[in-house]
Structure 1
Amino acid sequence: MTGYHIPEHLTEEVQAFLFMNASRRVNRMFPVPPMLALGGPPGSGKTTGVKETCTRLDVHLDVLPSSILGGVYAGQSSITLRDAIKRASQSEAWMSAILIDDLDMSEARVDDALSNTVSSPLLNGTLMAYADNPFELKTHDDPTEKEAETLALERPPVIFITCNDLSKLYGPLRRNMRMVHVEYDPRGQDAVAIVQAMYPKTSPADIKKLVEAYPDASIAFFRNLGMAVAKTHARRFARSIKTRLFNPDFARLARDLEAAATGASFEELATAAQALSLTEDDKNHLKSVA
């Protein structure tokens, strides 16, 4: 919908991670973790930050939501992950990557909330085996089946992981030689810069005032303000049309809604923020670790 500012420290972390893994393709003895985990409260912009950074660096990125890491039979999550790794390794881009979104909400989680399934150790085992040697990929886990084949990967993808709470992941998986850890929870000037990129027509002074008024709000909270302003304009449009002559120009409407969101005034954003902060839905936008 709008531009997105990426804090410099995140860009540098991701760039260094990608460049070191590209170097490992040349020198395989260079012990670089192929996984980078981005931890932080829900709504802090972790997923968007990874996507935007990869886009700007021309990295081929496949997104693997944790919701599809599961299935009706044991080991299905491992199969899904291995298939994604194999596909990404075939990319012609200078570097390919997989983004596993909310891994701590998947079968890889090890606390009492989401654990004790047969698939949990299989998924964590697949991730650890890949972290230890991303140049080889086994075809399956079941020793009762035919002997597992090993696929050689000349261009193994890196794996980005987002988590609300990194401590919910399997301890051995989080070891430094398997995973790089980055905490991401934009505050202060970083948050101001991100929100300013969302609403470029609003003055920096007003954006700063807005962010400071809601110091515990997530980046998602501020992004939803533009959607609230656009919804107000959509309602006005709905009231203006005649039912019997319903033939709206949706292309023009889309442009108008985009302009309404990105060009929102401080007064419109402040009103939307006040309304959103009073709703039950706000619990999903204020920062808290799941």
Structure 2
Amino acid sequence: PRVAAVVDASASACVTRRSTSRTASTSALGAAQTAAGARAVRGGWITQRRTPTVREPHRATPERQDALGGQDFIYSQRSGVEEELFKGSVLGVDADVATGEHRESGLRTFSNVGDGFYVPERFMQRVAVHVAKNILNDSGGIPVPTPLILGIWGGKGCGKTFNVELACKAMGLTPIVTSAGELEDRVAGEPGALLRRRYLRAARYTRETGKLCCLIINDLDAGIGKFKDDLGTVNSQITHGTLMNICDNPTMVSEGTVWRSDFKNKNARVPIIVTGNDFSKLYAPLTRDGRMDLWYWTPSTAEMVDMLHALVKDDGLKKSCCETLVAAFPNQPLDFFGATRARVYDEAIREMIFNVGLADLNDALVGEEKQRVTLDTVDISLDALLRCGRELAQEQQNVNDIQLAREYMRWQEPEELANAQAVERSRQDRPPPTMEIDVETQQLLDDARAKMLQASERAAAEAPPAPVEEEEPEIEALPWRVENIGEAQRLYESGVRVLDVRPVKDFNRETLKGALSTPAAVRTGGLSDAVDTPDIEAMLAAIAADKKFADKSSPIVVFHGAEDSAAYHVDALHALSKVFDDVIEVDGGLPFYLKHFTPSGKRRPRYVGYGSENEETFWTASN
């Protein structure tokens, strides 16, 4: 034990980290030797006076200028070493690659939306009721069918999208937002697959975190709507079909190439909220009752005043000023007043540019921090808002009144276009002109026709006889059915009797669970010189003697060895068809079936091969 103590003390005194400096290594070794040299002699045995050693964490000294602080490696991302490249904001823990700040997760938290905005009560109630109703329907709280989609539509700029975001933030709901531009892609089917992936992502988020989540699609009619002279695309059709399928089966949404058809692994139900301007441009079956809950949103004057007051209350404007502003522009949407408030800043910005100068504008805006110029406080008054509002309203009216396209393309006027169409119709209705032929020309035409007729008759007489095509014999219909492995699996799961006509050795080696051995051949020889001798009579005798086959009217499923049993399985099927009323052959036999199902009847994973195909479909470290 004393010798072990000495060894243990020497090992504990070793320093695990290396130093790039030879002097530092020598000092560390000397310190270890000095600690091991503190010994006392007792009874002739050398022992070490064990003194506790306190290890201080390594800290880089300010005088060290090397990149790693005197170490060959970094112990951890937070070890205290002052190093900017691999530990700071460039490539270290503070970089966006490590923190994940710029990674696309699809989830929106609306942290960029400030507080203090007003959401109309009926808008908030409509969104909250739709979300709660779908969640309750998923948990069995309500037994009535619930539309999965809430369709909020209305005029431009009335606050549909922004109010949906504010409502979600107020409810603590984390949505996945999809824009209309994502509903078209150069790859056919990708927008539909994108919606399925995002719907399932929201479903997983709800089950894994226990937080509300929904799917928001903005400007749906702009993405997949059918407008005048618009032929549509395959992606718009697939997107319509995808949304309808999700509405019909909200808890069985498939992803990728595997189509979910069982009820064992359901996903959570995720409410969907879509916005748009005119849902009459959508495919009518998508907007029918039961799939989409349509709601026309147009804010009242009081709601408009409350939303506007929440927007400008920090500017010192009272609610009465907002009422005056709304009354001055009664037909304008909410975004008009937001643009009016932004236009008030134009005068202050022009003054700032005049003071700085165009030559120094770059440094004043995006130059160094000390050279940048900030905007002075802008006084936003009711008079300024009214003046800017009248300017914006006048610009809107100019767009409607001064239509330069009518001047540039006058031929596209409705009246001129109607006149051109009438001229074209009269030209088409005009009878074709008649051509008079004189006697000499007519005689030449008749002679030419006669010569052509004679040449055709001469060519037909000199031509060899046409080969007689022999009629192909009609293929005799098989007295049994041939089904694929999918139908065979369904019959197997329903309890239909399964026969294996391969030799007994193959049956004992591997077969389907519950299958009955009725060998139609006898195998002799070993593995290298095996010979299968057909014996249909023995098979029929075994079936006649077995009481399990007393019922001849029930269907039976027959598995054979495919190519290995080509010499006898057709004769076996003919013989079985004379005994049983309904014989079903599995296409490809048992070898093909076992590529997709296990002997116990369970489907194999899509990426796992069977037998020799493992080397091709299942990648391991060896291949």
Give the TM-score normalised by the residue count of structure 2.
Answer: 0.41
Q: Does 1:21 align with 2:128?
A: no
Q: Which residue of 2 aligns with 1:236?
A: 351
Mind listing any 5+ residue stretches in structure 1 that lack a counterpart? 141-145, 285-290
Where does structure 1 differ by over 6 angstroms across 4 or more consecutive aligned residues?
281-284
Does structure 1 conserve the Cα–Cα contact (< 8 Å) formed by 2:158 and 2:333? yes
Matching residue's letter, 2:131: L
Change in 2 beyond 3 A, CA 1:278/1:187:
same
Asked if 2 retains the 8 angstrom alpha-carbon contact of 1:105 and 1:114, the reply is: no
Give the corresponding residue for 1:148: 259
* From 194, 200, 206, the counterpart of 1:80: 194
Q: Are 2:68 and 1:68 aligned?
A: no
State the alpha-carbon separation in 2 of the partners of residues 157 and 170 from structure 1: 22
Q: Aligned equivalents of 2:187 and 2:331: distance in 1? A: 41
Where does residue 122 of structure 1 map in the other structure? 238
Match of 1:184 in 2: 297
Deviation larger for 123-132 or 232-241: 232-241
Give 2:383's aligned residue: 267
Aligned position for 2:212: 95
| Contact 2:151-2:275 within 8 A present in 1 as well | yes
Match of 2:156, SS? coil
Q: 1:114, 1:162 → 2: CA distance?
A: 21
Q: Which has the larger radius of gyration?
A: 2
Matched residues, percent identical? 25
Q: What is the DSSP-based 3-state SS (H/G/I as helix, E as strand, rest coil) of the residue aligned with 1:48?
A: helix
The structure 2 residue matched to 1:133, chosen from 249, 253, 256, is 249
Task: Call closer, same or farther: CA 1:222–1:114 in 2, change over 3 Å.
Answer: farther
Please state how far the C-alpha of 1:247 moved relative to its aligned partner.
Answer: 4.6
Deviation, 1:139, is 2.4
CA RMSD, 1 decimal: 2.8
Report how many residues are paired.
273
Q: Distance in 2 between matches of 1:86 and 1:283?
A: 44
Return the alpha-carbon distance in structure 2 between the equivalents of residues 272 and 55 of structure 1: 32
Structure 2 equivalent of residue 45 of structure 1: 159
Partner of 1:57: 171
- 2:134–2:269: 8 Å Cα contact kept in structure 1? no
Alpha-carbon deviations, 1:193-216, whole Å to 9, x = none? 111111112121111111011111
Query: Among 274, 281, 296, which residue is 1:168 paired with?
Result: 281
Residue 228 of structure 1, CA deviation:
1.0
Counterparts of 1:204 and 1:31, CA distance in 2: 43
Once the two structures are superposed, residues 110-140 of structure 1 have per-residue CA deviations (whole angstroms, 9 ceiling, x without a partner) of 3435453222221111001111121111225
- Residue of structure 2 equivalent to 1:33: 147
- Over 3 Å counting, the alpha-carbon distance change for 1:5 and 1:283 in structure 2 is farther
* 2:364–2:373 CA contact under 8 A, matched in 1: no
Report deviation, 1:253.
6.8
2:318 pairs with 1:203: yes
Contact 1:276–1:282 (Cα < 8 Å) also in 2: no
Does the 8 A contact of 2:304 with 2:334 survive in 1?
Answer: yes
Alpha carbons 2:177, 2:217 under 8 Å: kept = yes
SS where residue 125 of structure 2 aligns?
A: helix
Stretches of structure 2 that go unaligned for 5 or more consecutive residues are: 1-112, 401-623
Shift of 1:23: 0.8
Q: 2 CA distance for matches of 1:147 and 1:162?
A: 30
1:159 alignment partner AA: I
Query: Which range moved further: 89-98 or 8-17?
Result: 89-98
- Provide TM-score, normalisation by structure 1: 0.84
Taking the TM superposition and a 5 Å limit, the aligned residue runs for 1:212-223 are 212-223=327-338
